[in-house]
Structure 1
Amino acid sequence: MLPLAPEQRFCAGRAVVPNIYGLPIDIARRLLDIKQWAPLPGEPVAGGIAEGREGELAKRGIVEVESCSGTGFGYCAFRYRSAAARLNVTTVGDADLPVVSGYDVRCDG
């Protein structure tokens, strides 16, 4: 089996996603920042910060958390934006910081 490439290009090369598979979300978001991906804050909730897993992550400064499942594998969804695209990142696990299990890129225009 060959190792994964260090990065993947999308949108005619204008959007670059580093290899973030298996990384805790705090490290993955730093690598995404280097490649010009900005976090998109999750939807505001009544009364301020969300509760549960989303609230815990937001309190740690990981404001791009969109939602987390309450049961099962502990999936969470995160959103980012670059000049060329939108990026959805999925994490898994109930550890202090979940790890990246996948992502999806949507090119603009």
Structure 2
Amino acid sequence: MRTAVKISAIVLAFILASAITLAQNNQCKGQKQAKVPAIKGLTYHKARKKLLAAGWRPLPKKSVSRTKNPEEIDDPDILAGNGPIFWQRGYVELESCSGTGLAYCSFLFKDAYGNRLQVVTSGEELPEQRIYAKVNSLKLFCRGQN
């Protein structure tokens, strides 16, 4: 189990590095797309509301049960860090969370034109202390792009 969590953290770090490199351009040239609102630095909860209002829809990546009990979550990609908190809130777009480092989490959305938007957060999610993870980076995958 620990190996799976470590692998998830490494994969998420790679995704973040790629997202930071490519996040400068949030437009699909010559293609229709939903507007990408300015969400960098916002809490994920506020950013998610703006994305939904702009036409982005959660793209579920997990097929695990919709349990609300953290002890019943068996997917190593969402078991660590902020994963159980976001999963319990019904954020089906959650791809993975790291259990170490800067507490990165990755979320995936899709627009009506087939484009995908990956949102990466960092920071602890401690609602009882009014501390929330914030959007760190974005990566737009235009339709037809891997």
Give yes or no for TM over 0.5.
Answer: yes
Q: Does 1:78 align with 2:95?
A: no
Other-structure match for 1:101 = 136
SS in 2 for 1:44: coil
Compare the two structures and name the one with the higher helix fraction.
2
The equivalences for 1:1-109 within 5 A come to 10-11=27-28, 12=30, 14-15=32-33, 16-45=35-64, 48-49=66-67, 50=73, 51-52=79-80, 53-84=82-113, 85-96=115-126, 97-109=132-144
Mapped partners of 1:56, 1:42: distance in 2: 17
Mapped partners of 1:40, 1:65: distance in 2: 8
User: Percent identity at matched positions?
Assistant: 37
Which runs of 5 or more residues in structure 2 are unaligned? 1-24, 68-72, 74-78, 127-131
- 1:78 Cα offset (Å): 0.2
Question: What is the RMSD computed on CA atoms of the aligned residues?
Answer: 1.9
Compute the TM-score of the two structures, normalised by the length of structure 2. Answer: 0.62
Q: Which stretch shows the higher mean deviation, 94-103 or 77-86?
A: 94-103
Which runs of 5 or more residues in structure 1 are unaligned? 1-7
Output the amino acid matched with 1:14. Answer: K
Mapped partners of 1:77, 1:94: distance in 2: 14
Compare the two structures and name the one with the higher strand fraction.
1
Mapped partners of 1:37, 1:31: distance in 2: 9
Q: Which has the higher contact order (CA 8 A, sep 6+)?
A: 2
SS in 1 for 2:121: strand
Q: How many residues align?
A: 101
SS in 2 for 1:17: coil
SS in 2 for 1:57: helix
